[in-house]
Structure 1
């Protein structure tokens, strides 16, 4: 029995040795595994952290110029995508229809107001200042309409001023309401204002636009006389060369007003509407000059459409202008969509309670 037990002893020793080897191997493996976390001390790319990713895309930007290049790439890509998704070229076509319906009552209202202070016949004379921007055919249509209206004389215009001006303003107001509706589409909003409030806002825009145009025309008449009176008549030609920068600034200001107060939402701060307004104004002046030059030198609307050629060219210019304005609004919308900060008027409100879709949500990254 003892011999048998003695014979079983060597296998037990071998088993212990094997177990010891396995234990040592496991211990070594554990030591190696325990050393892997030391890689945390290696430099980590800032772009790997969620906070830095947000900073790279301007999610914490309080002003548009604080948005970094990656954020601007997101904005431009989304602007292009939403321009297509919102079918803004089709929306601009509908806006063009209502503008055409409203433009002639607007001219009537303009002549009526201008006739209170000066000879309405001078309106047609100063229409030539728009040459180079408005296509020649469009100028001819406007000039003919103005001549028909001014043939009535100041007395005739004054007799029915209140009734005629009211009808003209109401008709012009339909075009402004359509623009406001288009801006609601761009900003992803539904019209939440009452009929009375919306009408007052659109009428306010319409009346302000007409007063601005009357003031601009009056300045054209008064300025040369004033310069001659103070002995600076030679500056007249120099000032005329500056009319495009002046027009650019004024159009940008008017566009920013419409972008801020037009959509049915909590008002955006000025810094979040001026970028799109500036872009729309620059593009509008540039594209209008190019289109006017193209129509004058290459286009053959008269050959294609006959007597309707001038009207078609004018309508095309209005359509292009509407596209440019809506593109500027789309850029503003995506600028607000890029940051998580409150872009609406004070006081500061948490996301989801700001009363504006673009301020209450954050757009997707694209780069």
Structure 2
């Protein structure tokens, strides 16, 4: 009878707690030797405690990597590249539209800039339109290629800074680096042209719906811009470092964080410059240049901080974060993917 009772008890327990082969195991708690989220297959699998570690390390690494100094260099070379990029952008856009219309559309997109810096960009756009023939001539091709080459120098400096954020050593040849920078620059120009088309068409279509349509059009314009910035940053974080490319899921959250910080930072900076700053009194005619460079510095810092966040999120897990079949640590071709932070206080 005792044996029968034990058997019956086991059967009852089996009914109450059936074995479900598809049951997903609970997340393993962190131990002194494993950080929270050490088995995460995606960034969303990392618990809040793990993300707290990631954010802390990202800011610590940004200080260690001298991101503030790197952002200054990126902003300087970006400033030198922005006007050649505008020339290439208006010239290429002018092949399918009137150059004046292209400049007008571009000027509306520059609303993200502080008010003090907008006239500087507007004047340059007007100069480009005045000198643009809008035709596919030999002079146009040479000018566009020269502008793209000049703009790619700024892109190459940004790539170098992102490479440092990922703790990678640059091994690519100068030719390969320049070609990749040119490809990214050309891709950015085409990307902006497509963005302009979407941003310009959406409000025009919705304007026919009256006041509500115009409001929706403005919302759609900014949502599209934000989404396009997220995608653009994700591509940059994926291809810029000298390493095996991470999966897109491991660059998305850093892109979102950088975009949100960029939008909020741009709004706050614009409000400060327009209402509290005294740049016009201090710098006079150079105020627009100074404000634009400060805004580019802020933007560069945020982009590099996003790269640090992505890099530290890869360091949080032992899972392979690179594209292709899973590989063991030490053979993934990426410094952050080939390591994991130690301990729950990592």
TM-score, normalization: structure 1? 0.80
Q: Do residues 117 (structure 1) and 96 (structure 2) align? A: yes
Equivalent residue, structure 2, for 1:93: 72
Based on CA coordinates, which of the two structures has the bigger radius of gyration? Answer: 1
Task: Give the whole-Å Cα distance in 1 for the aligned partners of 2:92 and 2:187.
Answer: 12
CA contact under 8 A between 1:54 and 1:60: conserved in structure 2?
Answer: no
Aligned twin of 1:78 = 57
Unaligned runs of 5+ in 2: 1-27
Structure 2 length normalisation: TM-score? 0.85
1:58 and 2:41 are equivalent in the alignment: no
CA distance in 1, matches of 2:181, 2:78: 14
Task: State the Cα RMSD in Å.
Answer: 2.3
Work out whether residues 115 and 157 of structure 1, in 8 Å CA contact, stay in contact via their aligned partners in 2.
no
Higher helix share: 1
Identify the residue that residue 189 of structure 2 maps to in structure 1: 210
Q: Which residue of 1 aligns with 2:25?
A: none
Match of 1:183 in 2: 162
1:1-367 alignment runs, 5 A limit: 52-53=31-32, 57-130=36-109, 132-155=111-134, 158=137, 160-223=139-202, 232=209, 235-365=213-343, 366=345
Which whole-Å deviations, capped at 9, do the CAs of 1:186-207 have from their partners, x for residues lacking one? 0110112233332222111111
Between 236-245 and 328-337, the greater mean CA deviation after superposition: 236-245
Deviation at 1:69, TM superposition (A): 2.9
RCO higher in 1 or 2 (8 Å CA, sep ≥ 6)? 2
Q: 1:359 to 1:147 in 2, by over 3 A?
A: same
Show CA shifts across 1:120-161 (max 9, x none).
112332344346520112211110001111112435784511
Looking at structure 2, the residues matched to 245 and 106 of structure 1 have their Cα atoms a distance apart, in angstroms, of: 24
Residues 95 and 135 of structure 2 are in contact (CA less than 8 Å); yes or no, is this contact kept in structure 1?
no
Structure 1 gap ranges (5+): 1-48
CA distance in 2, matches of 1:56, 1:206: 39
- Shift in alpha-carbon separation, 1:57–1:105, aligned structure 2, 3 A: same
Is the alpha carbon distance of 1:51 and 1:102 closer, same or farther for their aligned partners in structure 2, counting shifts above 3 Å?
Answer: closer
Aligned residues: 317
CA distance in 2, matches of 1:154, 1:220: 25
The verdict on how the C-alpha distance between 1:344 and 1:224 changes in structure 2, with shifts beyond 3 A counting, is: closer
Question: 327-336 or 75-84, which moves further after superposition?
Answer: 75-84
Rounded to whole Å, the distance in 2 between the matches of 1:295 and 1:309 is 10
